[in-house]
Amino acid sequence: MHTIKELHVISYASDLGGAKTGSRHGPDVLKQSVYFQQLYEKGLQLHWQHPIQLSDTNLSKLQKIAQLCQVLAESVEGLVQQKKKFIVLGGDHSCAIGTWSGVANAILPQQSLGLIWIDAHLDSHTFQTSQTGNIHGMPLACLLGEGESSLTQIKYPEPKIKPQFICLIGARSFEKGEEDLLKRLNVRIFYMDEVKARGIEAVLKEAIEQVSQNGQVFGVSLDIDSIDPVDAPGTGVAEPNGISGEALCQALKQVTRYPGFIGAEIAEFDPRRDQNQKTEKLIAQLIAAMNV
Ligand SMILES: [Mn+2]
């Protein structure tokens, strides 16, 4: 007999922040997934929370995303206050604005928040630098306090995370404007070249050490497109030469050794682009890696 751990699951079933639709179906497919049902046998009991929904549909896209993130922030904040482990399932990566604003508010003013951002992209555009205006390309900038005020001021007006407590891992496709912002703020980026050269295990360890200094609270924001499309084809903006799915699962087990690890989110899963449930199965394995 092994002990059963509890994990609280929040669905952010929205793809309003992306160019392509489809990731809004992610949470429902995962909820029905046989691989998710098998997590109990691995020692993980999932508690599905009330899904994040819009209360007012007569809004602009930006207003809708701001409202969804506001509700998501409330939900995550409540779990963190009750010392419950959480996983947010996107939906597109705009969910990060809500997730980490909620966590940051729950741990204020005693602690700073650390964040590991695993992604093929930098997600650090603002409306000034973005050519598409897609908000899933902006969440990290928002958390750093840059961009549209309705997205940067969720819960409280100041930036949610200090630049020195963020590390990006796996970047390989981005624009100059967003990279300039991160460089100006001196954010540590482990580009894909470095991940290939050193291995995801070593890179992730260094990143965790940096963001969890002094035992502070930290979380993981995982974009499915960080993983090689061969291992995780089910995503909207797939980028070749990514992180191995299996190696990432192995490496992520490290987080369980840190008492400050507070929770994670997994975004940009699009079940309609998946092949033979490969990505779906991998997501269950990633969740087990971080929680069992
Ligand atoms: Mn992303």
pLDDT tens for 254-267 read: 999 999 999 999 99
Specify whether the CB–CB gap between 65 and 135 falls below 8 A: yes
Domain range list for the chain: 5-291
Mention the CATH class of domain 5-291. alpha beta
73 in Cβ contact with 157 (< 8 Å): no
Output the CA–CA distances (angstroms, integers) from residue 26 to 92, 99, 154, 245, 269, in the order listed: 9, 17, 25, 18, 6
* DSSP secondary structure code for residue 137 in this structure: G
Query: Could you check whether the bond before residue 91 is cis, i.e. omega within 30 degrees of 0?
Result: yes
Distance 121 CA to ligand 1 centre (A): 6
CA of residue 226 to ligand 1 center, whole Å: 8
Distance 265 CA to ligand 1 centre (A): 11
Instruction: Using the predicted structure, report yes or no on whether residue 1 has a pLDDT greater than 90.
Output: no
Q: How high is the mean pLDDT of the chain?
A: 96
7 CA to centre of ligand 1 in angstroms: 23
- C-alpha 102 – ligand 1 centre gap (Å): 18
User: How far is ligand 1, taken at its centre, from the CA of residue 283, in Å?
Assistant: 15
How far does the centroid of ligand 1 lie from the alpha carbon of residue 223, in Å?
5
Give the global pTM: 0.97
pLDDT tens readout for residues 154-195: 999 999 999 999 999 999 999 999 999 999 999 999 999 999
- Take residue 123 and report the two structure tokens written for it: 């997600």
- pLDDT tens readout for residues 110-157: 889 999 999 999 999 999 999 999 999 999 999 999 999 999 999 999
- Ligand 1 mean position to 41 CA, how many Å? 31
Cα(142)–Cα(161) distance, integer angstroms: 10
Residue type present at position 173: S
What percentage of the chain exceeds 70 in pLDDT?
A: 99
How far is residue 239's CA from residue 221's CA, in Å, rounded to a whole number? 18
Q: Which amino acid is at 121?
A: H
Residue 117 alpha carbon to ligand 1 centre in Å: 8
d(CA 191, CA 50): 36
Token reading at 231: 């291992």
